[in-house]
Amino acid sequence: MSRPEQKKKLAIYTATGCRACEQGILDLNYEVNELGRFADPVFWPYVLGTPWEALSEGKVDVALFAGTIRTEADRQAALKLRESSELLVAVGACAAFGGLPGLANLADATEAKAGETTGSSSADGEGKPTLPRAEPQGLCLSQVVAVDYVVPGCPPTQNLLWAAVLALVCRGESPARLSYAAGRLPEAVAEAIAAGVLPRRGTTFAGEKAVCGSCSRIKEEKKFGICKRPYQEYQETGRCLLEQGLICQGVATQEGCGGICTGVGVPCRGCFGKAPAIFDPGAKMVGAISSTFDSKDAKEIAALVENFVDLAGTFYRYSLPSQCSLLATPDKG
């Protein structure tokens, strides 16, 4: 197939995060070998060392933004990329929901203030480098600027990341393997990609139900009688992990991953964010577990509850800033 007349200008950036999302983009280019035919990465500090001045040469078509907004520098980066981009995409759980760095919001406000640094991200008066000032709270991208699309996951799965590239960068021109991604997407999104039409703004490149809907494990009568940590032994029988006493969040988490973690006996940790029909994933998990306690004795139930460790950090591992109804701030999107 011939090259498009003009390549899309692409920007890729990570705020506070581990850069696994950017590594996923590199892996995508290696495996699919199509991104370079359709996009010219004009701003990619992590890989190309591109300076911010490169954005002054005109708008980019698509900006892929990963990482949590945790510092003043992160906020300024989000504002600059929003201003410079036609389409801004939150890539990964950190940008989409707040991610692991967002768990810092559980700290007392006075502790957070004491942990702030002063100065700029360049150097202090003596020429020594200093850290950027910390934001009062960690935020997801949409709590700072308007976001056009979301690709969830920690990191996003290759098929959904490729679906986003097909939809937003290639615009249906790529010869390629929509079937690689379409099976995990809502039908309307897959049809838009195939037709070369932009999906509706606000689209999340994920499924429409909860992970339990695509999990291959056998669901029987749910009776929660013991709480196990993920590293503890479980029964390799193919039974539902929640029924075996493991805190599996598949009942509250958006599908799209195909249940790859639960398929190998690892409980779902919620990196795709809450399922569309759920208001608060933590409240859903509390209800799902407490309604299946295999006891009516108050003392036994109290003893079982004592075994739960760090419920807030567990139920909102990736989504505390945006999806905990008691702590979330309104989105800008």
Shared domain for 161 and 220, answered yes or no, is: no
Calpha distance 172→196 (Å, rounded): 4
Domain boundary among 174, 195, 216: 195
- The mean pLDDT value for 267-271 works out to 94
Query: Do 86 and 116 lie in a common domain?
Result: yes
Measured between alpha carbons, how far is 27 from 22 in angstroms, rounded to an integer? 9
- The confidence score (pLDDT) of residue 221 equals 76
- Residue 155 gets which letter from DSSP? S
Looking at residue 170, its pLDDT comes to 79
151 and 226 belong to one structural domain:
no
Residues of the chain with pLDDT > 90: what percent?
43
220 and 149 co-located in one domain: no
In total, how many domains does the chain have? Answer: 2
Give mean pLDDT, residues 182-208. Answer: 85
Mean pLDDT across 229-257: 84
210-221 average pLDDT score: 86
* Closest by Cα among 132, 11, 153 to 74: 132
Strands (E), 123-260: 134-139, 149-151
**pLDDT at residue 63 tops 90:** yes
Both 189 and 213 in one domain: the answer is: no
Assigned domain for 85 exists: yes
pLDDT band for position 117 (50/70/90)? very low
> Are residues 224 and 302 located together in one domain of the fold?
yes
Higher pLDDT among residues 94 and 175, named by residue = 94
Report the chain's mean pLDDT, rounded to a whole number. Answer: 84
User: 330 is in which domain, residue-wise?
Assistant: 207-333
Whether the Cβ atoms of residue 296 and residue 276 lie closer than 8 Å to each other: no
Q: Could you tell me if residue 202 is inside a domain?
A: no
Q: Which of 52-66, 110-124, 139-153, 295-309 is predicted with the least confidence, judged by mean pLDDT?
A: 110-124
pLDDT score recorded for residue 1: 42
User: How many residues appear in the chain?
Assistant: 333
Q: Which amino acid is at 209?
A: K
12 plus 87 within the same structural domain: yes
Q: Angle at which helices 158-165 and 187-195 pack, to 10 degrees? A: 50
Indicate whether 57 belongs to any domain: yes
Is residue 181 predicted with pLDDT exceeding 70? no
User: Which tens digit of pLDDT belongs to each residue from 34-62?
Assistant: 677 888 999 999 999 999 999 987 889 99
In a domain, 15, yes or no: yes
162/225: higher pLDDT = 162
331 and 257 within one domain? yes
Q: What is the mean pLDDT of residues 71-93?
A: 97
**What is the pLDDT confidence band of residue 237, given thresholds at 50, 70 and 90?**
confident
The residue ranking higher by pLDDT, 206 or 35, is 206
Residues 127 and 66 in one domain: yes
**CA-to-CA dists, residue 188 to 113, 172, 195, 206, 253, angstroms:** 46, 14, 11, 12, 21
**In a domain? residue 62:** yes
Same domain flag for 316 and 229: yes
pLDDT at site 148: 97
| Region at 99 (left for phi over 0; alpha for psi -120 to 50; beta for the rest) | left
Structure confidence at residue 179 as a pLDDT band (50, 70, 90): low
Q: Which residues contact 298 (CB under 8 A, 6 or more apart)?
A: none
pLDDT at residue 50 in the model: 94
Question: Which of 148, 171, 195 is the C-terminal boundary of a domain?
Answer: 195
In a domain, 200, yes or no: no
Dist CA 331 CA 333 (whole Å): 5
Residue 66 CB partners (closer than 8 Å, separation 6+) = 12, 13, 14, 15, 17, 19, 21, 22, 90, 91, 92, 94, 95
Question: Based on the domain organization, do 284 and 173 belong to the same domain?
Answer: no
Domain boundary pick from 195, 217, 246: 195
Q: Is residue 2 part of a domain?
A: no
Looking at the structure, tell me whether residues 93 and 148 fall in a common domain: yes
Lowest mean pLDDT among 117-121, 156-160, 216-220, 232-236: 117-121
Q: Which of 63, 27, 310, 269 is nearest to 154 (CA)?
A: 269
Would you say residue 118 has pLDDT above 60?
A: no
Average pLDDT over residues 147-168: 91
Of residues 108 and 205, the one with the higher pLDDT is 205
| % of the chain at pLDDT higher than 70 | 84
24 contact partners, CB below 8 Å, separation of at least 6:
155, 156, 158, 161
Q: Is residue 3 part of a domain?
A: no
The predicted pLDDT at position 333 comes to: 60
Per-residue pLDDT, averaged over 308-319, amounts to 90
Strand 60-66 relative to strand 8-14, pairing: parallel
Residue 239's beta-bridge partner residues?
218
**Phi (first) and psi of residue 60, to 5 degrees:** -95, 155
Answer for the pair 142, 333: CB distance below 8 angstroms, yes or no: yes
CATH of the domain at 88: 3.40.50.700
- Residues near 82 by beta carbon (within 8 Å), at least 6 away in sequence: 63, 88, 145, 146
